[in-house]
Amino acid sequence: MRRLVAILLGVASVAPAQEKTAIQTSGEEVLIDVVVRDKKGRTVTNLPESAFTVLDEGSPRLIRSFRLVRGTEAVSRADDKTAAPQKLDPIRQIRLVSLIFDRLDQGERAAVRRAATDLMNIELPQNVYVAVFALRNELQAIQGFTNKRELLAQAIEKATGKPSSQFASDSQKLRSDTEQILGPNQDGLQDMFSRLGQQAATASVANGFDLVMARAMIEMISLSERSEMAYEGRSTIWALLGAVRGQSELPGRKAIIYFSEGFAIPQGAEEEFQAVISAANRNNLSFYPIDAHGLTKNSLNAKATEGLSAATAASAMSPSIGIGGPAGLVTPKTEIALSPDLAINANRMNTQDTLAMLADETGGFLTANTNDFTAPLQRVMEEVNTYYEISYVPHIDQYDGKFRHIGVKVDRSDLVVQSRAGYFALPPDMLKTAGLNAYEVPLLRALSDPMPASGVKFESGGMHFRGEGRLETCGFLIDMPFSNVTLRQSKDQNTLIGGLEYVTLIKNVKGAVVKKLQGEMPVELTPGQVPSFRQGRYADLEYFDLPPGYHTVEVAVLDRETGKIGVRRSALFVPQPRAGLAMSSVALIRKWRQREPDASADDPFVFGDKTVTPTLMPKVNKSVSTSLPFYFIVYPDKQNSARPELVIEFDRDGNAKRVATMELGAPDADGRIQYVANAPIEQFDPGNYAVRFVVHQGAEIAEEDFSVNLEP
């Protein structure tokens, strides 16, 4: 993906981002492109602003700006033939068209190559730039954005000249083998489960072994198809998201012409697919998928029909009795247990439906069930150059991360409107600086749920340290044992893969998001590495600046393989900066490690030649630990000559017990006293304690609290 970004950014130097983007940072305007056609498919370009109604979450919104854009000209009164057009700068009003060629067979490659080459034979307008990509489980850039037709022709030839690296699916071979075992499909039953049941009902002991083998084949076929659908579906979704986000900083109207056989959305990837649509809508980009199957005798619904029939058959069978034939021919228990999943996946087998959703919800259109791709491609170029541009203010009261639906209507029933489906409601400045990763979408939805999810166990929290000026330096820590990360065998069967992803929202006392943090950790291990991995922990610490006051830290963590999510909320108080005595938050030390060569000297957890690894574990086993090692930083008052003193108290149910009083040493060159306090715990009974740390420097006082649960 780095290569893609580098190529795309190369265009930015030619065409600076002067146009409006989909969401404006100032004014928070939503900008949408609208194409209107009559029933014969002809573009309608004479509608006035009053003919349009824009809905955001079902509520009408006032149109702030309106114009018809046609090539390098725009008019604000499309219904007035005498209105003088405004000449647009072709460099600043650029149009970007991406050709993405997905996995195609030989016949499909030849057909789409002819159509794409014919399209490049036309004279491209000065402000239209085209790029060429190939999708082979990842997005491969063949040609960066250019309007040089000879370069584009070469790139199209390269992208379509070689077959996909994928070979025929193993499941297809298994299907053929099983078909031979089951014999002719005389009754026209579409799925092998029903045929297996029919054969078993009349089977003799002599051919019972063959049916047992057929049953095993069916299980392997089903597993292979589900795995392949999940793998290809996810890889395609992530590649398309990369193509969209890679153009986020570029100006102008954008289109992706996607030559593909289609793909299925696997279970658990619905939010990732929605993220592609949301990112496209925010970045002024429309998808124009072209189903490379063309005209085919095979129904794209056949696979879905077979899958539904298989699910019905599997759910109707009992794992405790025979199918109806010889003893021992029991239904595959795996398929019975997974019959709900079979039904869900079956409904997604019509891959053309996925392409249709991609087009409909981003303002494009789908070309399917035809071998003539030339006319639709010309129509795409027409829509890239001619459209209505409308902006409005969404009036969002709360940026909760939910998908907000956009609707555009016209006052004539004989017209067809193409526009965008909507966008995710997140603060515009955060989206502009950090973007939105696909994995963040389900996590943001989980954070907006009033009932916190508990599918993943972890600890998280925030700490504060003295910063500069009016802001405090804060640290966010997430702590999770690797034993909570699910691993599964990879497609090549040689490694185990898994991982986790998280999103953190820092909100002020009014509930407004002031910081968004995110991270991910992919895992790929050999079987021999798994035991030691399971003994480790994931600990990530990130620093940022916050103004003083009360904040909440909301964290959602996703287990990549199961799709399970856990949510935690905690409080973070940031004190007012002051010149006098102060102290940082208190952290419990998990371990010490050697300081990294590139560690920053102002890292609060760097202590001499060592680095402190903090922990957020609220429970401590007394049979394992006899003392608690606490770490914090004291910032003494430079104008106060008194030596700072520390008092530590353990409080349980209002009964406080002092465990230490000690004088602190001299500050370092930066005016800090980094301190480690080992508090003895043998004398305390098991239970919950509030540990109070109080620093005195003459009459000045600074204090911090820490909660801990002592277990036997």
pTM listed for this prediction: 0.54
Is residue 182 assigned to a domain? yes
Mean pLDDT on 565-576: 91
- Please count the helices (runs of H) and the strands (runs of E) in the chain: 15, 34
Print burial letters for 379-405: b (CB count within 10 Å at least 16), e (below 16).
bbbebbbebbbbbbebebeebbbebbe
Residues 161 and 41 in one domain: yes
Whether 259 is covered by a domain: the verdict is: yes
Q: How confident is the model at residue 565 (pLDDT cuts 50, 70, 90)?
A: very high
* CATH code, 642: 2.60.40.3880
Q: What is the mean pLDDT of residues 636-655?
A: 91
Q: Please report whether residue 434 resides in a domain.
A: no
Residue 369 has pLDDT above 50, yes or no: yes
Amino acid in position 60: P
Q: Measuring CA to CA, how many Å separate 92 from each of 95, 128, 131, 189, 392? A: 9, 11, 18, 59, 22
473 touches 515 (CB < 8 A): no
For 402-448, what is each residue's pLDDT tens digit? 678 899 999 999 998 988 777 767 776 666 555 567 677 778 778 87
- Measure the N-to-C terminal CA separation of the chain; round to a whole number of Å: 51
Q: Are residues 189 and 283 in the same domain?
A: no
Count the domains in the chain. Answer: 4
The Cα 243–Cα 139 span in angstroms is 8
pLDDT of residue 5: 25
421 and 360 share one domain: yes
**CA-to-CA separations, 321 to 48, 214, 332, in angstroms, rounded:** 70, 18, 11
Domain assignment present for residue 649? The answer is yes
Any domain includes 313: yes
Measure the CA–CA gap between 637 and 701, rounded to whole angstroms. 11
Contact 297, 374 (CB under 8 A): no
Higher pLDDT, 485 or 201: 485
Q: Do 396 and 425 form a contact (C-beta atoms < 8 A)?
A: yes
pLDDT computed for residue 311 by the predictor? 47
Confidence bin at 2 (pLDDT 50/70/90): very low
315-365 pLDDT, tens per residue? 444 443 333 444 444 444 444 444 444 444 444 556 788 999 999 888 889
Question: Both 23 and 158 in a single domain?
Answer: yes
The pLDDT value given to residue 347: 46
126 inside domain: yes
Q: What is the pLDDT of residue 227?
A: 60
- Per the structure block, which two tokens stand in for 593? 């490690």
Asked if 252 and 143 sit in the same domain, the reply is yes
Sheet holding 619-621, edge to edge: 619-621, 700-711, 687-697, 645-652, 655-663
Three-state secondary-structure class, residue 348: coil
User: What is the C-alpha separation between 424 and 439, in angstroms, rounded?
Assistant: 14
Residue that finishes a domain, picked among 577, 592, 618: 577
Quick one: which of 589, 553, 605, 603 has its CA closest to 574? Answer: 553
How confident is residue 22, by pLDDT bands cut at 50, 70 and 90?
Answer: very low
For residues 263 and 199, membership in a common domain is answered with no
Q: Higher model confidence: residue 433 or residue 258?
A: 258
Instruction: Give the pLDDT confidence score for residue 341 in this predicted structure.
Output: 46
- Does 675 score more than 50 pLDDT? yes
The parent domain of residue 703 ranges over 578-712
Assess whether 293 and 313 both reside in one domain.
no
For residue 10, pLDDT over 50 is answered with no
> 609 and 506 in one domain?
no
Q: What is the chain's mean pLDDT, rounded? A: 77
Last residue of a domain, one of 548, 577, 606: 577
Give 702's pLDDT tier (boundaries 50, 70, 90): very high
pLDDT in tens, 162-200: 665 443 344 455 555 555 655 665 555 445 555 555 555
Where does a domain end: 557, 577, 597? 577
Same structural domain, 111 and 258: yes
For residue 226, tell me if it sits in a domain: no
Percent of the chain with pLDDT over 90: 25
Is the CB of residue 456 less than 8 Å from the CB of residue 564? yes
The count of other CB atoms within 10 Å of the CB of residue 81 is: 8
Q: Tell me: do 274 and 327 sit in the same domain.
A: no
How would residue 218 be classed by pLDDT, with cut points 50, 70 and 90?
low
Q: Cβ atoms within 10 A of the Cβ of 353, count? A: 18
Distance (Å, rounded) from C-alpha 8 to C-alpha 146?
Answer: 11
Return the pLDDT at 560.
87
Same domain? 159 vs 175: no
In a domain, 224, yes or no: no
Most trustworthy range by pLDDT among 163-172, 234-243, 308-317: 234-243
- The pLDDT, as a whole number, for residue 383 is 84
Do 362 and 340 belong to one domain?
A: no
